[in-house]
Structure 1
Amino acid sequence: MLKNSQQAGLKMNLLPKSSKEFSSAEYWETFFKKRGASAFEWYGSYVDHCAVLHKYIKLKDKVLVVGCGNSELSEQMYDVGYQGITNIDISEVVIDQMKERNATCRPTMAFMKMDMVQMEFGDSQFQVVLDKGTLDAVMTDESDETLLNVDKMFAEIGRVLQVGGRFVCISLAQEHIAKKAVSYFSQQGWPVRIHTVEEQSTANRQFMMPVFIFIFTKFKKIPGAGHKILEMCSEEQDKPLRLDSVGQLLEAVKGRQQYALLRNHLSKNSTSGENVSLTLCNSVSGKPRYTFYIVDLLSMKASRTNHFAIFIVPQGRETEWLFGTDEGRRQLGKSAEFKRLLVVVLHRDQLYESMEAIQSELSGKVMELAPPGLPPNQQVPFLSVGGDIGVRTVQYRGASDMSGEYVIEDVKGEDGNYFRHLIFLSNVNVVQSEAKLLHTVSKSVPSQRKKKKDKRRGRPCSEAEKTSNLKPGQAVDKSYLCCDHHRAMIAGLALLSKKDGLFAGNASYDVIMFDVDSKDTTLGMSCPPLAFVDDVFLLKVRNLLAPQGLFILNLVCRDHILKEKVMVTLKGVFPLIYLQKIEGEVNEILYCQLTMELKARSKDLLEAGQNLENTLKKHGKHWDQTYNLAEMLKTVTIV
């Protein structure tokens, strides 16, 4: 037996000097001479592949194995009943080895030295052509010479296959190889199906990349037929996912590869300092169903019970800071006190029965993302807020010319209240606007006459008719403002000395408000755009204000130098500026006035705030009791 150092040296000597040598007959002759008769399984064993192979290869099929090498695959297939197998390889050394190895125990299995790009068989001789790693060895690059050889290989496979026969190709599906194979056979009118291999013997695998099995079924090419059959299968799917284009199919392959690499990384390393996430799609529709965010805490001391936990974010609450931002999720991880926390977000347009159903669906998948050092048979807890999956109902879908697709949806908040959100699908973690819905509205019962009329027609009232005027949660709480900076902007109206409304007439305004996001992410100011605080533009704003008017600006600026410049410009246009900082936020609200004569004392501000609140409260109308204008004005300062 070789010692470890000798074994390592042998492996090094077997490796080619360049990938180009993989397609060289001379390389394989030398390889098998040095390797000897022991089997070399590049992409896993028969056990790894048999579940898929048995779906597409019948026991009575005539099977051609191209580039057989000294793999045990065809031998194991023979032993379970596949006895119409012919093996070919470009290496005479390996063919002689395989003949000797199988002469007695598998007398009807054939081995032939033959180049698969120029086979000696007649047309339509086989029901199956099986390749395990040979295409990968041939297509080492995309040079003209290599592509020509691949085209010859594919043409020969197509020639020796019967119509309805299958080319079964086991491959790592490197991008250039997958693209070439799928494009070639789909253009020939052959249906393409790709299986991801369920890994049974990963400990003995030569590669960390996943293995795929391509199934190309020979159909007669129909002139003018444009539709292609392209399908993706994975071990957890009951049926294949039909895709619309070669590009989508290749993206699905790439997604599986990226997931395998991520799993390998997560099984050995911490993600601390990285923002790692992945999305799992619905196996039927292909649409996103779950997004996982992985939070690792190096500072957390490991115990037997705090290695790993799963946190399910209730529907509609994924936009909250704690769940929708990297910093928030890190804070959630610290609060949960687990070394690794997997934060799971549920996607809209997907149905979820219950928390128990979600746990059952995810229990196998989440364990693939377990951290290193997880004790065997460790019970992994599922956590959530309140123990339920939340409520989210899409009320309307639309599209904006400027911002793309959007949805309007009702969600249940932590306090049991319902909120109506506008979400642009280009940025699903941000609520564009929010309104609070009242729990009760006035009831209106259909008249007895209408009820009788419906009864005479023999048609019962529809659910929509029954509840058309009885929809709890459909009335908007007009006193509610979701953002603290909006509350501060409204509180600033107490600074107005006029009592006759917000529009003074004669093209002069009592109040002008700016709350505009900047799309320029290169600046340290996200609100407003730089042009909105240019001195020329601000002078135009000033000219639109009434003499005792008020300009209210939401300023969000992290660049201290830029903020100082903005403040200098504002002071040059508006002599009196009040500042309201928002606790816990970067937002600062500036109340700008045209004359120092309007300067108010703190006592006057509080009284004005209370008066404004009393004015806004209307008898018989709901008022948000959490909104106290006078309290907000206590922290206002003059800058």
Structure 2
Amino acid sequence: MELLLPRSPREFGSAGYWARFFRQRGERPFEWYGALPELRAALRRYLRPRDKVSEGRGLPPPPHPTPRGARASSPGRSRRPRCSRPASQVLVVGCGNSELSEQLYDAGLCEDIVNIDISDAVVRQMRERSGSGRPKMSYVRMDVLQMGFPDGLFQVVLDKGTLDAILTDEEEATLAKVDRMFAEISRVLQVGGRYLCVSLAQDHVLKKAVEYFSQEGWVVRIHEVASSGDKQQFVLPIFVYVMTKFKKVPGLAPQILEICPEEQDKPIRVESAEQLVEAVKDRQHYALLRSQLSKACSGEQLSLDLCSRDGGKPRYTLHVVDSPSMKPSRDNHFAIFIIPQGRETEWLFGTEEGRRQLAASAGFKRLVTVTLHREQHYEGMEGIQAELSGKVMELAPPGLPARQQVPFLSVGGDIGVRTVQHRDTSPLSGEYVVEDVKGDDKYYFRRLVFLSNRNVVQSEARLLAPVPLPGQKKRRKDRKKPNPTELPSAIDKSYLCCEHHKAMVAGLCLLGSHDSLPGAPLMVLVVGLGGGSLPLFLHDYFSQARVAVVEIDPSMLEVATRWFGFSQDDRMQVHVSDGLDYIAKLATEASAQYDAVMFDVDSKDLTVGMSCPPPAFVEKPFLQKVKTILKPEGVFVLNLVCRDTRLKESVLATLREIFPLLYARRIDGEVNEILFCQPSPKGPRDPTELLVRAQALEGALRQPGRPWDSSYVLADMLQAVKIL
């Protein structure tokens, strides 16, 4: 029995291995990658009736391999027959003892079939098995690397697993062998003929086939075979490479590369061989995910993107959340939760822990959360439900009762409102958008989002009363339905949307002269502008504060000014510079200049476990410069976003070396941690004193005639502060 498995992958390309294989197996058919029931739909599509040879045309006599000592033509040389012969229907290469050819013949899909294999044993076996019952089908011992057929004889070359068996690695000798195989297949095919290759589409196999035939000017389509309802031999899906031969005309026509997923007939056009390979990988990932989800609920969260048919861009992002500990009942097996547009960044929807809590509160053993993408248009809940119903049922948990009604859930029963106001690309920050979204109450919010990290809101501001957009008529009073394009536009500068900004402002309580703080002549340096809400708040509520902002990206200054109500004056100045260089320069010019230095700057390197600030901003030599420009009673406020525990401990250890007094405030539901660092050890250490200071500061900031957000309580911001 062990002879049925090769000792190494290379044996798949050995004639001796297959001779031993078929002698050992006997007459039992061996179906490599399934039989006709699985392949019928795909093969029927590409073996169309119009391709059939007319009844009066028979096969030419079976050709013979080139005998030893005879001179064979090179694979790339044209070898034309001496006499005209009619084209045959199908050549099956590496046929083995598969029943596929017989099934194609008996089903009437095609009859004029030539089968070749390098094994004498299997050719004899198949000739005896077909006998006289299939007169138009023949079996010939022949090597696909050196076929004896004349040029252009066949309309279709069918390969089920032969390429996968030959292309076992990417060594030079193997690739040269595959080049000979492809050249021979190309030679014996007519112009307009098809090479149909049934494959598991391993990465190196797919890449080689796509690159070879696309460079030859052929039309390349990868067709996913629809899975049957029966238990599959392979978890991974089966694909058919459909390579249609065209005459190579350099420079006249672009490559035509397509993928046809199993659930649709219309192929999707892609722009490059790399994109085609990635599209196949996505389908394989989806099959693995479905296989994993078909087992018992594990508690592990899995995610996938569903792409639009036009353009192939992500349309929905699905997260599958299982609750293994939940007791099953008839109605709690499975549900779909639609996250309203713009709310996908909230902790409850945008984090694993939040989604787990959402699933538990919803009361389902499996909950699929659905995120809607800003680049897409949606026709309300009913339209989304119609689109998703078929696909999400493939993610249903095992044991779901037949014909079980699966509920679609959401917040408030709608999909929310999102309007992209501006989209651009910055040389430093990449592509970004400014968008208005509806919150969980009556308010709208304006957000800046970098698309390199699209689930993180870079800056946010609350908008005031709605005003019609340019060119839009006012709504009649009796009109009941809201217009989603009629959005607020003026910025509410009194409101700090980001919890970490509120905590950073509360940290000013640590300054020595807290009693007269709002009217004191403060010097504040903010590194990182974003939408400008933090420096704007400091400017407006600390009447004598002089705020210097350092921003490396000039595009962000334009965004903040145009879309977030930011402006400069004699107390607010923006310096377009690298924060590292700017502070280094300040440290050489004069010391003890600033009452407060605030870092709210993100890292563009997403491979580091710390997304805020960039690692260079927390290195010891640079932090020494920060301490130099601070006044002795001043405070350094750092927004730290670090998921790497060891890296975070290293940052904290460095800060403790430089600053004698260090406080930390975690932001609930977020990764952010606000660190307050003081160069003097004389700061307040009693939590009660901190709260008294916070209350005094808030009382001073709340002045008659000046708006104040009643939900912002400074004492709450310092309630959970810890001294490290």
**Letter matched to residue 254 of structure 2:** H
Could you give the per-residue CA deviations for residues 201-248 of structure 1, whole angstroms, max 9, x where no partner exists? 542x43222110011111111134572111111122342221221111
Q: Which residue of 2 aligns with 1:481?
A: 496
From 146, 158, 177, give the equivalent of 1:118. Answer: 146
Preserved CA contact (<8 Å) 2:95 2:160: yes
Preserved CA contact (<8 Å) 1:89 1:95: yes
Preserved CA contact (<8 Å) 2:94 2:115: yes
Quick one: distance in 2 between partners of 1:523 and 1:286?
30
Instruction: Assess, with a 3 A threshold, how the Cα gap between structure 1 residues 245 and 603 changes in structure 2: closer, same or farther.
Output: closer
Does residue 1:490 correspond to 2:505, yes or no? Answer: yes
Q: Which residue of 2 aligns with 1:4?
A: none
Could you give the per-residue CA deviations for residues 486-531 of structure 1, whole angstroms, max 9, x where no partner exists? 2244345672626261139999977534032464987889569324
Quick one: distance in 2 between partners of 1:125 and 1:51?
25
Query: Per the alignment, in what secondary structure is the counterpart of residue 441 of structure 2?
Result: coil
C-alpha displacement of 1:482: 0.8
Q: Which residue of 1 aligns with 2:226?
A: 198
**Structure 2 residues not aligned, in runs of 5+:** 54-88, 476-484, 521-543, 548-569, 572-589
Query: Per the alignment, in what secondary structure is the counterpart of residue 463 of structure 1?
Result: coil
C-alpha displacement of 1:30: 2.8
From 35, 57, 72, give the equivalent of 1:45. Answer: 35
Quick one: distance in 1 between partners of 2:449 and 2:343?
12
From 672, 676, 696, give the equivalent of 1:590. Answer: 676
Matches within 5 A, 1:21-60: 21-59=11-49, 60=52
Instruction: Assess, with a 3 A threshold, how the Cα gap between structure 1 residues 629 and 90 changes in structure 2: closer, same or farther.
Output: closer
TM-score, normalised with respect to structure 2? 0.74
Instruction: Assess, with a 3 A threshold, how the Cα gap between structure 1 residues 160 and 638 changes in structure 2: closer, same or farther.
Output: closer
Preserved CA contact (<8 Å) 1:533 1:570: no
Instruction: Assess, with a 3 A threshold, how the Cα gap between structure 1 residues 624 and 78 changes in structure 2: closer, same or farther.
Output: same
C-alpha displacement of 1:108: 2.1
Quick one: distance in 1 between partners of 2:719 and 2:291?
55
Quick one: distance in 1 between partners of 2:271 and 2:393?
32
Quick one: distance in 2 between partners of 1:523 and 1:139?
39
Q: Which residue of 1 aligns with 2:187?
A: 159
Could you give the per-residue CA deviations for residues 99-146 of structure 1, whole angstroms, max 9, x where no partner exists? 232234322222222222222221111111111111112222233433
Preserved CA contact (<8 Å) 1:44 1:201: no
Quick one: distance in 2 between partners of 1:610 and 1:478?
19
Q: Which residue of 2 aligns with 1:436?
A: 462
Instruction: Assess, with a 3 A threshold, how the Cα gap between structure 1 residues 49 and 552 changes in structure 2: closer, same or farther.
Output: same
Matches within 5 A, 1:270-285: 270-272=297-299, 274-285=300-311
Preserved CA contact (<8 Å) 1:491 1:632: yes
Q: Which residue of 1 aligns with 2:546?
A: 503
Q: Which residue of 1 aligns with 2:575?
A: none
Question: How many percent of aligned residue pairs carry the same amino acid?
Answer: 52
Quick one: distance in 2 between partners of 1:638 and 1:137?
65
**Structure 1 residues not aligned, in runs of 5+:** 1-9, 445-461
From 241, 266, 284, give the equivalent of 1:214. Answer: 241
C-alpha displacement of 1:608: 4.3
**Letter matched to residue 261 of structure 1:** L
Q: Which residue of 1 aligns with 2:4?
A: 14
Preserved CA contact (<8 Å) 1:139 1:150: yes
Q: How many residues align?
A: 595
Instruction: Assess, with a 3 A threshold, how the Cα gap between structure 1 residues 201 and 145 changes in structure 2: closer, same or farther.
Output: farther
C-alpha displacement of 1:434: 0.5
Q: Which residue of 2 aligns with 1:455?
A: none
Instruction: Assess, with a 3 A threshold, how the Cα gap between structure 1 residues 539 and 136 changes in structure 2: closer, same or farther.
Output: closer
Instruction: Assess, with a 3 A threshold, how the Cα gap between structure 1 residues 202 and 497 changes in structure 2: closer, same or farther.
Output: same
Instruction: Assess, with a 3 A threshold, how the Cα gap between structure 1 residues 21 and 413 changes in structure 2: closer, same or farther.
Output: same
Quick one: distance in 2 between partners of 1:305 and 1:610?
53
Quick one: distance in 1 between partners of 2:315 and 2:377?
9
**Letter matched to residue 54 of structure 1:** R
Quick one: distance in 2 between partners of 1:564 and 1:110?
78
Q: Which residue of 1 aligns with 2:167?
A: 139
Instruction: Assess, with a 3 A threshold, how the Cα gap between structure 1 residues 588 and 301 changes in structure 2: closer, same or farther.
Output: same
**Letter matched to residue 598 of structure 2:** F
Preserved CA contact (<8 Å) 1:533 1:569: no
Preserved CA contact (<8 Å) 1:534 1:569: no
State the Cα RMSD in Å.
3.5
Query: Per the alignment, in what secondary structure is the counterpart of residue 284 of structure 1?
Result: coil
Moved more, 291-300 or 470-479: 470-479
Matches within 5 A, 1:37-186: 37-59=27-49, 60-61=52-53, 62-81=89-108, 82-186=110-214
Preserved CA contact (<8 Å) 1:169 1:213: yes
Does residue 1:422 correspond to 2:448, yes or no? Answer: yes
Quick one: distance in 2 between partners of 1:126 and 1:413?
63
**Letter matched to residue 497 of structure 1:** S
Q: Which residue of 2 aligns with 1:566?
A: 655
Quick one: distance in 2 between partners of 1:638 and 1:31?
73
Query: Per the alignment, in what secondary structure is the counterpart of residue 423 of structure 1?
Result: strand
Preserved CA contact (<8 Å) 2:210 2:273: yes
Quick one: distance in 2 between partners of 1:633 and 1:517?
22
TM-score, normalised with respect to structure 1? 0.83
Quick one: distance in 2 between partners of 1:87 and 1:525?
59
Q: Which residue of 1 aligns with 2:695?
A: 606
Quick one: distance in 2 between partners of 1:247 and 1:427?
23
C-alpha displacement of 1:171: 0.9
Matches within 5 A, 1:448-597: 463=471, 472-491=487-506, 495=514, 497=516, 499=519, 501-503=544-546, 511-517=595-601, 519=603, 526=612, 529-531=617-619, 536-543=624-631, 551=635, 553-554=637-638, 556=640, 559=648, 563=652, 566=655, 569-571=658-660, 587-588=673-674, 590=676
Preserved CA contact (<8 Å) 2:507 2:637: no
Preserved CA contact (<8 Å) 1:193 1:214: yes
Could you give the per-residue CA deviations for residues 372-429 of structure 1, whole angstroms, max 9, x where no partner exists? 3434443332222111111111111112222211111111111132111100011111
Could you give the per-residue CA deviations for residues 268-288 of structure 1, whole angstroms, max 9, x where no partner exists? 25443x442221211211111
Q: Which residue of 2 aligns with 1:368?
A: 394
Preserved CA contact (<8 Å) 2:194 2:243: yes
